[in-house]
Amino acid sequence: MEATVAINIVQTSTYTSGYIRRWLDNIELNYENHTMPPTPPSTFARIPRGASARERRGSRQSTLTSDTQTPKATKTLTPETYRQINLRASCIFIDNKVIIPPAIDEYIRQILGVSSWEDQVPAPNGIGMQPLFDEVADKYHRESERLASTCSLEGDWRHCLYSVMCQMNNRLGQALEINACEKVWNQHLKPINAILQKRLAKAGSPGIDPNLVMDTDPDYSESISPSSQSVSTITKCLAIRYYVKTPKPDITCALTSAAFTTKHQNLLDEYQACELILSDPYAAESGIRFPFIIAELKANSPLTDTQNQAAVGGACILKILTGLTCQVSSLTTPVELPPALALCFSIVTEGPTHELWVHFKCEDAFHMLHLQSWRTTRRDHAQEFVNCLGRIIEWGKGDFKEHIVKMLDRLPNI
């Protein structure tokens, strides 16, 4: 009975948030690649030569009024500005001064099979794993040298990394799905913009408790009540100013739907349809569940923008995991999350430069912390990178999946 009441509350909140998020549905289209909508050409009407002075003033006044009613901006945000202003406004921090929680730090080292961060990461455990990963590392090293020497483009590097991940997945049991479709994720997974949330509260917008629906918090670039024109205009300006781009990772590694029992698959389908647990992160459902590592790749360009993309994707994954635990028990808090459901990983690359990052929450903020860097044109770097990747994939199909299944066993029916 209590579970039914809790679900009804969440569904009511979801309906309310759905009402207020419709007002700016076109923001997503107008703000691609962090670019503000361009200022259109001047709309001053051509006034006939014989028109009176009053007609000229009236025409000029009406044109100025219509132009100034809708805010316009022409600036293109640099990756540095986007990180310092837009991401920070959504409580997403990259390489911020934060100490990784000891339990998460210990758990990451356990995943990677090292006792300290100075140790070399070994190949995954299992019979015949070391020769296999030596072979994979050799091939990846040779491909990295070839692609780097020809200044190859992003697509070549993506295909190379995707092939390695698929080979590992095939060897480690195929409980996972490696997706390189680059389709956009569900925009409602993006973190709440704290600045817009406060403004909406002051403006008397419909009351929403964001803690009730952890996985479908409204996208505040789309959540302005149209009841007040002045408030709407100001808030729309802020929505554009603090816009965070919806993720569409180059590569996503997640659990496959077929890895779950029929009962669990049906539960996940129902919760996905009600937007209570968005276990499939894509806007158009893809059949994958609960991503745990993503890759963002670039070639011949700085890493800053790529890291920004990965930071938002990692925050969305953390919201999926937090949403699952919140639906299971109203007493569950982020502090009580098991380490397996309190973190995720991302790979950020620029050509042969590869970085491994971990994502976690600390005091309601989403943090992205650097773990290791490699240049895969070096044989020893390629080896350790491949070993790290293999161990994370092994963890995904093992301990990560087991914790997800335990939560699903406690998930109430809708």
Domain assignments of the chain as residue spans, ordered by start? 1-30+192-208+218-241, 88-189+245-409
In which region does residue 256 sit, left (phi positive, over 0), alpha (psi from -120 to 50) or beta (all else)?
Answer: beta
Q: How far apart are CA 152 and CA 207, in angstroms?
A: 51
Q: How far apart are CA 332 and CA 411, in angstroms?
A: 13
Beta bridge partners of 362: 365
Contacts of residue 176, Cβ cutoff 8 Å, sequence gap at least 6? 169, 253, 254, 255, 256, 259, 393, 396, 397
Look-up of token digits 């969305």 = 316
pTM given for the model? 0.78
Q: Identify the pLDDT of residue 130.
A: 87
Own/partner long-range contacts of 99-103 (Cβ < 8 Å, ≥24 apart): 100/358, 100/360, 100/369, 101/360, 101/362, 103/339
Q: Identify the pLDDT of residue 15.
A: 41
Q: Identify the pLDDT of residue 230.
A: 55
How is the chain split among helix, strand and coil, in percent rounded to 5? 50, 15, 35
162: exposed, middle or buried (Cβ count in 10 Å: 0-12, 13-18, 19+): middle
Q: β-pairing, 365-375 with 343-350?
A: unpaired
Mean pLDDT split into 10-residue runs, the chain, 414 residues = 44 44 45 42 42 47 40 69 95 92 96 95 83 94 98 96 94 87 93 74 48 41 47 71 93 96 96 95 94 96 95 98 86 65 98 98 94 98 97 96 95 87
* Pair 85, 242: CB distance under 8 Å: yes
DSSP code at position 247: P
